[in-house]
A and B are shown apart, each in its own frame.
Chain A
Amino acid sequence: MMKKAILLVYLALGLYGAVASWRIPPLRGLRDALARNSVIPFQDYSCIKELAGDKGRMDFLGPGSTGGAGQERFDFVAAQYVLAPALLHSGYSGQDLVVARYTEEEELNQALREYRLEIVQSCGRGVYLLREGSSP
């Protein structure tokens, strides 16, 4: 009788525990993280450093950069996840690429002119894949 009661308690506790521990976590989609971010470089290249220093609009999230922890690292990974294979498919190795977000077209054009960058691919929602250009 005692064992039967314990078995019933076990089943009841199991079901209670299952329901009580069921938490619905907040949305953590990678693309949402990417959209929140401003700029994410693949490598810490000098021209990008200069751009960040001047404008203060770029976050450096790769190794040797000012970022690298918490949310920033999360976004860096997000960018790699979403974009890296697509870039490689386009024929770029990734080492001279920058992922940037410009909400205004004028800002984008200014950055392209000033820092000799060119667009490799537009990824939507103001996110662009850029690389060092050959002409000013």
Chain B
Amino acid sequence: MTAIGIALGLTQPFILGLALCSAAFNGLDRRTWLLAAALSGPFGLALTSALFFLYTRLTYPGHGFLYYAILESLLAAGGLLFLLRRRRSDNSSRALHTDRLPRGWVAVLAVALVAAVAISLGRFWTGVLANPDGRWDAWITWNLRARFIFLGGERWLDGFSRELMVGQTDYPLLVPISVARLWFYAGEASRLAPAVVAFLFTFSIMGAVGAALSAMRLPRQAVLAVFTLASAPALVEAGAMQFGDVPVAAFILGSLILYFVHASGRMPVQRGAAVLLGASLGAAAWTKPEGLSFLVCFLICWVFFEGVARKQRLDTFVHSSLRLAAGLLPFALCLVVFQRQLAGANRFFSDRDFLDVLGKLSDAERYAIVAGAFLKQAGLLGGWTFGAAPLVTVGLVFGIRRLSIAERKTVLAGAITLCLAAASYFLVYVISPGNPQTRMSVSLSRVVLQLYPALVFLVFFLQRWPLQPSSPTAGLPAAE
């Protein structure tokens, strides 16, 4: 019964996520279908968590979960009807059939991909068996809050009480609500639910990278990128530990992919992609404070690249910005309500003396400590036995392909956004209370992981395929 309840609880977010993607992409064809399928899980959970939160705040403390489940079911039924009625003619089969490789290479890539994904599934499974409640952050923040939401009844807000003394009461609720929703559907606080949520986010990252690259580049490059993510242990292990950094990584990656869809001119769904992009940015902020920081970094780049560097007409920029804001709005609303009514103080910024922060900002030794740790972490990217060395080597050997002007600006905007996000993490460590080394020893690897899938996507989007037969653009899907 528990598994059936959890399956039911997952079906509705998937339908809603898929319907949202279909609406944004103006129907789903071959090129958008895979991407929509990969994004529908995270988007669906984000949507339902926002809906659940707003419903609870509006009806608190009167109504129970049953009414919410009815509302969600009605929405999902509407979404399903929408999906069934809205089919777009497939006009992209030509683009997907131009990727021809020698049979030998197809076999090699297929075997490598299947083996890497099988290993990552095994790694996730053994990780969950060994850590049935996840690890530290999962207990003290995500699942603890989920237990309050599910078990606390009318007193679930006590989960934000200072009496609990541990965990981050200022962390938003996407993950706790996603877990608690499944518990409501299952009827018990099963250990399966948080593991399923973690699984969905972890493997949707691989799916999204694969789908996006096969739509915008070549399927063979998508295979290599998914192979890279699946064979490196860091992402899968963090997923199995139920760390909130994996959902943030999924939404940061989703934002970057959707920005590329919107701005690179490689897919014909720019308008709708801006709405989804806003939703992805909002969902990142609704997951963890680092997501909010990424949102700010992204908006800076958006204004500069879309508003200035691309030399668009002002009304075009305003329209796409409004679409982005429309996707962002529900999550911004949740965040405002959460911050005003529930969230506790942020440990980095509350009760801080300005002079103390200024002193830390002007302390060169702190910069040196943090920079040293960041460099070390960059060398270990992905957690491979060989660190980041193979990825860097392959990137250097294979080189960068020729880019169109629109693509150059898009790639630059994406790269700068990731650098700004990394810089914001860097500064937070510099001004953090106490010794930054202590704080980084327990969190830096996870924080860097948030940007890792987006970085892998960027590297493989840029990379020239090593077995390219003739020109660098041969076999690429046509820009539309």
Contacts and interface: CB of A to CB of B under 8 A. Distances in A.
Contacts of A126: none
Nearest to B191: A29
A86 B233 contact: no
B80 interface: no
Interface residues of B, number: 53
B368 to A, nearest CB: 28
A30 B139 contact: yes
A30 B140 CA distance: 11
B130 interface: yes
Interface string A64-88: 0000000000001110110011101
Contacts of A43: 163
Contact of B116 (A6, A18, A77, A88): A18
Interface string A14-52: 111111111011111111000000000011000000000
Contact of A77 (B147, B151, B166): B166
A125 interface: no
Given A78-B139, A85-B150, A89-B151, A94 B163 contact: yes
Given A81-B144, A95-B163, A7 B158 contact: no
Contacts of B151: 85-86, 88-89
A18 B466 CA distance: 23
Nearest to A74: B136
Most buried by B among A6, A88, A94: A88
A42 to B, nearest CB: 7
B166 A6 contact: no
Nearest to B230: A18
B115 A15 contact: yes
A13 interface: yes
Given A11-B108, A43-B163, A80 B466 contact: no
A38 B411 CA distance: 56
A85 B130 contact: no
Interface in B36-51: none
A28 B138 CA distance: 13
Contact of B152 (A2, A7, A30, A85): A85
Given A18-B230, A30-B133, A89-B151, A62 B165 contact: yes
A20 B232 CA distance: 11
Please classify the interface of chain B as helix (H, G, I), strand (E, B), loop, or mixed, using the class held by over half of its residues: helix
Contacts of A63: 165
B187 to A, nearest CB: 15
A21 B394 CA distance: 21
B397 interface: yes
Contacts of A78: 139
Interface in B135-161: 135-136, 139-140, 143-144, 147-148, 150-153, 155-156, 158-159, 161
B112 A88 contact: no
Contacts, number: 136
Contact of A28 (B135, B144, B228, B386): B135
Most buried by B among A11, A28, A30: A11
A10 B119 contact: no
B168 interface: no
A10 B390 contact: yes
B116 A84 contact: no
Interface stretch (B16-24, B121-129, B269-277, B370-378): B121-129
A36 to B, nearest CB: 15
A3 interface: yes
Contact of A24 (B119, B130, B132, B164): B130
A29 B128 CA distance: 10
B231 interface: yes
Nearest to A9: B390
Contacts of A4: 466-467
A88 B139 contact: no
A93 interface: yes
A42 B166 CA distance: 11
A22 to B, nearest CB: 5
Contacts of B385: 16-17, 20-21
A38 B130 CA distance: 23
A85 B119 contact: no
B466 A3 contact: yes
B131 interface: yes
Interface of A: 2-4, 6-8, 10-11, 13-22, 24-31, 42-43, 62-63, 76-78, 80-81, 84-86, 88-89, 91, 93-95
Given A3-B397, A14-B227, A89-B152, 16 more contacts: A3-B466, A6-B393, A8-B108, A13-B386, A14-B116, A15-B112, A21-B384, A25-B126, A25-B127, A25-B130, A30-B133, A77-B166, A85-B148, A88-B159, A93-B161, A95-B163
- Of all A-B residue pairs in the complex, the 3 with the closest CB atoms, nearest first, are A85-B151, A14-B231, A3-B466
